[in-house]
Structure 1
Amino acid sequence: MDNRSIERLLEDLKHADPEVRNRATQELWRRWFEQKGVAGLEQIRQAQMLLETGEKLKAEAVLTQLIQDLPDFAEAWNRRAVLYYVQGKYRKSLADCQQVVQLDPIHFGALHGIGLCHVALGEYREAIPAFRRALEIQPYSIENQRLILECSAKLS
């Protein structure tokens, strides 16, 4: 991805105007999904359709194959993390989210996912830094702000 345009989008995530923030958010998601072109995007869509029809094992197989074929495709890892999360496989989801962040440190979705996995595992102290990192990228995220407060309350 073009560094200059990414920097601009990251700045737009911090803009006071919610429309500017929403456009930047959508553009980043679009870039993440389209990082590997049509072939990668089609595989992600296929996995999503399988998941929506309840064929979780097939969706996992599609995503795992995509990760094997394109190990630097951060969104493939992120989609599999989402799949694991909805299945209650929080440790597997956490591992995939961490891989996403290794590949793309600004992936606020994966950072949020790391926090959610820790919350699901009752690891509130570990969740807070993940939500804070996501909040550094998206400072207007009410959801991450709320989750930080909830985790802090559980620790007191």
Structure 2
Amino acid sequence: FGKTAGDATNYRKAEWGRPPAPGAEESIAQAESAMAQNDYPLAISLYREAISKDSSIPSAWNNMGNAYYRMGRPREAIEAYEKAAELEPKNADIPFNIGLAYYRIGEVQSARRAFARALEIDPNHSLARSNLISLGGLTGETK
């Protein structure tokens, strides 16, 4: 079912849209390095450090969600993804990740809604479409 959360939405520096607050950029760079080494607890700590300096960076919230998801902590991932979605509501990959996390905890209806939201934002999001079909969500049951 689907694919690993975060594979579609690991932000890079160029995608931040604006420079982060002083000090946040270094913490994010270190967190990305920790993610690459599968050191998710360290990555979470570093993303939290960045967020304490600038809480308006959607990539920090999203990627922290990815770290939680990969640690098997989907509820905490959802909280981080939801904040990222508030900050960047037009990014279809974020509700896609939310859907994966809901699916992991067995909340199929919530997963359907999240995948449907991803498709509302980007009708060509093939992974969201595939997952929604797998969950029977393209039969009018997405609301």
TM-score by length of 2: 0.77
Whole-angstrom distance in 1 between the partners of 2:34 and 2:119: 32
More off after superposition, 71-80 vs 54-63: 54-63
- Following superposition, the deviation at residue 144 of structure 1 comes to 0.7
Instruction: In structure 2, give the amino acid aligned to 1:35.
Output: R
Partner in structure 1 of residue 5 of structure 2:
none
From the superposition, tell whether residues 119 and 56 of structure 1 become closer, same or farther in structure 2 (CA, over 3 Å): same
More off after superposition, 57-66 vs 102-111: 102-111
More off after superposition, 144-153 vs 30-39: 30-39
Can you give the 5+ residue segments of structure 1 that lack an aligned partner in the other structure? 1-24
Identify, as 1 or 2, the structure richer in helix: 1
Which one of 11, 31, 36 corresponds to residue 19 of structure 2?
36
Greater gyration radius:
1
TM-score by length of 1: 0.71
Paired residues for 1:1-156 under 5 Å: 32-37=15-20, 40-152=24-136
State the Cα deviation string for residues 103-156 of structure 1 (Å, max 9, x = none): 221122211111011111111111111111111121111111110011227xx9
Sequence identity percentage: 23
What is the aligned length? 129
* Greater RCO structure (CA 8 Å; 6+ sep): 2
Q: 1:32·1:74 contact (CA, 8 Å) conserved in 2?
A: no
